[in-house]
Amino acid sequence: MINQDEITDNDFIIFMRRCGLCCIIFILFVCWGCALPPKKLMIKDMNMQFKEGTIVSAIRGGPVSFDELIADLKESRMIYIGETHTSKPHHDIQLQIIRELYGKNPEIITVGMEMFDRTYQPILDKWSEGGLDRQSFINRTHWYANWKYDYELYSGILEFIKEKKIKLVGLNIPFHIPAKIARGGLESLSGDEKKHLPEKIDVSDKLHREYVENIFRRHKIKGMEDFEYFYVAQCVWEDIMAETASNNIKNGVMVILAGNGHVLRYGIPGRAFARNGFPYRIIFLAPVGTVADMSHIDYIWVTP
């Protein structure tokens, strides 16, 4: 039996920690507490189980090869690859896809990452240009103050970006701002903090609201009792990344790396599409032993 409380949505945990919390929150989208045979992923839309390493297409309604996945991605301008932040296999898959896309179109690939906020863009540019060593990059992006996860998990991706001089874009808002909004609303921000907000904050998506509210209602958080504040904070988080990605794609293709909760269609992808209308694909990375739903994504890659 899978214990739901042991399954974590790392993005929400980061957010909660920044609000002074330390709690475990399960992924409603991925895991519904069902007992599964070992080494299989259940996709409930299909009522089928898939082993580790399988790539499942929502369009095809079944497995596809890696080459078929890459062939389909060539039609997209924005490619979203989700992750569980602490999963090394997830980052290995992200790098595998970036390598393949770069090999086919080296001049047009940009990588956007949730892990950096937009104020660090000059430093990210220096990294892409080869102007910083590893430790300087970690120090100057305040990696362990902002993102906190082990840098080694992302080092392969970041070293490849540096080696190939790929444009790297920080998608996020300064990390303290959503936490302030969740406690006191937009009006709790200073004038300088408001300058970081997206031009448009979309709070109208019913499915996204339901997804966030299910999480909020299950976890009573001292000092964060107003769901509307909490929800606006989540929408700011999604919209700023959608806006930043849209503003930086230029005439090429952007690969967006973000937590699985952000790459659902009503997260970053739908909000970016509303801004630019560019075709996109979503690749959701889901571990064996869980249950996944394909209704808001294009591909599931079954991982360890």
**15: pLDDT strictly greater than 80:** no
Q: In this model, does residue 2 exceed pLDDT 80?
A: no
Is the predicted pLDDT of residue 47 greater than 70, yes or no?
yes
pLDDT digits (tens, 9 = 90+) for 215-274: 888 776 776 778 999 999 999 999 999 999 999 998 999 999 999 999 999 999 999 999
User: How does residue 107 score in pLDDT terms, banded at 50, 70 and 90?
Assistant: confident
Above 60 in pLDDT, residue 20?
no
Residue 60 has pLDDT above 60, yes or no: yes
What does pTM read for this prediction?
A: 0.88
Half-sphere exposure of 25 (CA within 13 A, CB side): 28
Comparing CA positions, the residue from 293, 296, 237, 284 lying closest to residue 260 is 284
CA angle 192, 193, 194 (to 5 degrees): 90
Q: Which tokens is 151 given?
A: 């840098």
Q: Which residue has the higher pLDDT, 74 or 215?
A: 74
Grade residue 18 by pLDDT with cuts at 50, 70 and 90.
Answer: low
For residues 143-155, average pLDDT: 97
* More confident of the two residues 253 and 8: 253
pLDDT for position 36: 39
Considering only residues 11 and 148, tell me which one the structure prediction assigns the higher pLDDT.
Answer: 148
Question: Bigger pLDDT: 21 or 143?
Answer: 143
What is the SS3 assignment for the chain? CCCHHHCCCHHHHHHHHHCCCCCCCCCCCCCCCCCCCCCEEEECCCCEEEECCCEEECCCCEEECHHHHHHHHCCCCEEEECCCCCCHHHHHHHHHHHHHHHHHCCCCEEEEEEEEEHHHHHHHHHHHCCCCCHHHHHHHCCHHHHCCCCCHHHHHHHHHHHHHCCEEEEEECCCHHHHHHHHHCHHHCCHHHHCCCCCCCCCCCHHHHHHHHHHHHHCCCCCCCCHHHHHHHHHHHHHHHHHHHHHHCCCCEEEEECCHHHCCCCCHHHHHHHHHCCCEEEEEEEECCCEECCCCCCEEEEEC
Cα–Cα distance, 134 to 40 (Å, whole number): 38
Could you read off the pLDDT of 187-211 as tens digits, one per residue?
999 999 999 999 999 999 999 999 9
Choose among 250, 164, 176: nearest CA to 15. 176
Does the structure show a pLDDT above 80 at 23?
Answer: no
**Alpha carbons 147 and 142: distance in angstroms, whole number:** 8
Q: Give the pLDDT confidence score for residue 34 in this predicted structure.
A: 45
Mean pLDDT, rounded, of the chain: 89
Residue 57, C-beta contacts closer than 8 angstroms, at least 6 positions apart: 63, 64, 68, 69, 72, 298, 299
Determine the topology of domain 36-303 in CATH: Rossmann fold (3.40.50)
What is the average per-residue pLDDT within 106-134?
97
Quick one: average pLDDT of 23-43? 54
Q: Provide the pLDDT for residue 10.
A: 52
The model's confidence at residue 16, banded by pLDDT at 50, 70 and 90, is low
Residue percentage of the chain with pLDDT more than 90: 79
Q: Domain ranges in the chain?
A: 36-303
Q: Report the candidate in 246, 206, 289, 197 with the shortest Cα–Cα distance to residue 80.
A: 246
Asked if 274 and 15 count as a contact pair (C-beta separation under 8 A), the reply is: no
User: Cβ(268)–Cβ(258) under 8 Å?
Assistant: yes
Tell which wins on pLDDT, 219 or 158.
158
Angle, CA 91 vertex, CA 85 and CA 97 arms, to 5°: 140
Flag whether pLDDT at 169 surpasses 90. yes
Contact 269, 246 (CB under 8 A): no
Please report, as a single letter, which amino acid is at residue 117: D
